[in-house]
Amino acid sequence: MYDNDLSDVVAADKAHVWHHLTQHKPFETSDPRVIVEGKGIHVWDAKGTRYLDAVSGGVWTVNVGYGRESIADAVREQLVKLNYFAGSAGSIPGAKFSEKLIEKMPGLSRVYYCNSGSEANEKAFKMVRQIAHKRFGGKKTKILFRERDYHGTTIAALSACGQPERHMQYGPLTPGFVEVPHCLEYRKQWDVEDYGQRAADAIEEVILREGPETVGAICLEPVTAGGGVITPPKGYWERVQEICKKYEVLLHIDEVVCGVGRTGTWFGYQHYGIKPDFVTMAKGVASGYAAIACLVTTEEVFDMFKDDASDPLNYFRDISTFGGCTAGPAAALANMEIIENEGLLENTTQMGEYCLTKLEELMEKHKVVGDVRGKGLFLGAELVADRATKEPVAEKLAQQVVAECGAQGVMIGVTNRSLPGFNNTLCLSPALIATKDNIDEITG
Ligand code: PLP
């Protein structure tokens, strides 16, 4: 019997819910975890156990923390006024949020609403292909993606996925996606001084191999998330930008995780002076208070879809049913106001630096920690069996660390499991409201 008598809920969950990313066999002898309440940085499960949530809702989402009345009020007010109208019409919160968002994204000007990170990325892929057909005789349709990056769960997004474990058994994949090497300096692929330059040069090599006339875009995470919390080496992004310009390759930055504050700036790309053609975002946009994703692009891209009114096919022939939900932008606007009013970008930078220092201390004490890295409150600690060879630890050990933290009331995450060449990186990404005490608890 659970303290708060939710045993019936747990039983119903166990009987009928197919959990995401979960092997269900263990539930024959144990119960699934059901989270029932959240406040600030903490959540409670159906057994009444309290956890410090250092994974922001499991997957880097609840950036402003739980129980935010101002977001709930904004959503409620909007829902009773107008909950929905199809995405081909505008709405008050859609207009207001896009204006606010664009204020934070100099150089970009158009927002396309949809529901998930995967969907936003697919919209960008479609735009790239339409541009190829319109401008480049149907040739520049290839899209590059990077080893270890992830862009979503739908088949085309999975085809642009640099983590083979995600798409094994889901083939055949969509043609036209081509992988470029990762840029994780800790796992060097080239023995050179200027690693950032070399890792970016590898992109140019792929473009030349494929033929620049066939490559339309490259899709990259500013800081790779599920692939192991990979921060780019110095000079990497400057060179990537140069290469994109040289070969007329559109630059698509996937901000689904980094977006809206996670790394201490509104967007991850803003640390590196990047000028993207497309930015996609989802998780932190409304901190999970409503489902919303956006594809943001430039006026130049937008113009390509409207410059010839005599052509009946000259518009983006795409719709997202729930891109017309008004709760999303209403929540997103309130979410952004919280980040501004509470100085959460500054807090993220300060707490991120503090957390990284604590992780470095842990690395000094524990040989199993091979590398620590991250930006803002988006941090990783890669576990190795041997520091000299950098041999990854067994998946079981990483899982054990996660379980032990859970037993002590702290939820942490782990990325990249089980495949050879992939490594176990513990992942810390608490809400942007985290305090020093919270960080001490997480890293204690
Ligand atoms: N892009 C990145 C970088 C992600 O980490 C994810 C999800 O984890 C996605 C895209 C897909 O987002 P969604 O699960 O909302 O489709």
- Find, among 382, 126, 124, the residue nearest to 256 by Cα: 124
Residue whose CA is at the smallest distance from ligand 1 atom 10:
151
| Ligand 1 in reach of 146 Cβ (< 6 A) | no
Strand boundaries in 205-260, DSSP class E: 215-220, 250-254
pLDDT truncated to tens, each residue of the chain (444 aa)? 455 679 999 999 999 999 998 999 999 999 999 999 999 999 999 999 999 999 999 999 999 999 999 999 999 999 999 999 997 899 999 999 999 999 999 999 999 999 999 999 999 999 999 999 999 999 999 999 999 999 999 999 999 999 988 898 999 999 999 999 999 999 999 999 999 999 999 999 999 999 999 999 999 999 999 999 999 999 999 999 999 999 999 999 999 999 999 999 999 999 999 999 999 999 999 999 999 999 999 999 999 998 777 787 789 999 999 999 999 999 999 999 999 999 999 999 999 999 999 999 999 999 999 999 999 999 999 999 999 999 988 888 898 999 999 999 999 999 866 565 567 899 999 999 999 999 999 998
Q: Does the C-beta of 282 come closer than 6 Å to ligand 1?
A: yes
Ligand 1 neighbour 368 (Cβ under 6 A): no
Calculate helix-pair angle for 92-103, 327-341, nearest 10 degrees.
40
CA of 304 to the centre of ligand 1 (A): 27
253 alpha carbon – ligand 1 mean position (Å): 12
Q: What are phi and psi of 185, to 5 degrees?
A: -65, -30
Whether this prediction's pTM lies above 0.95 is answered by yes
What backbone phi and psi angles, to 5 degrees, belong to 181? -65, 155
* Region of residue 355 (phi > 0: left; psi between -120 and 50: alpha; otherwise: beta): alpha
150 lines ligand 1 (CB under 6 A): yes
DSSP-derived secondary structure for 7-46: HHHHHHHHHH---TT---GGGGTSPPP-EEEEEBTEEEET
Does an H or E element contain 381, and which?
strand 379-386
Check: CB of residue 262 under 8 Å from CB of residue 432: yes
What the chain holds in terms of domains, given with CATH numbers, is 7-62+343-443 (3.90.1150.10), 70-341 (3.40.640.10)
- For the chain, give the number of residues: 444
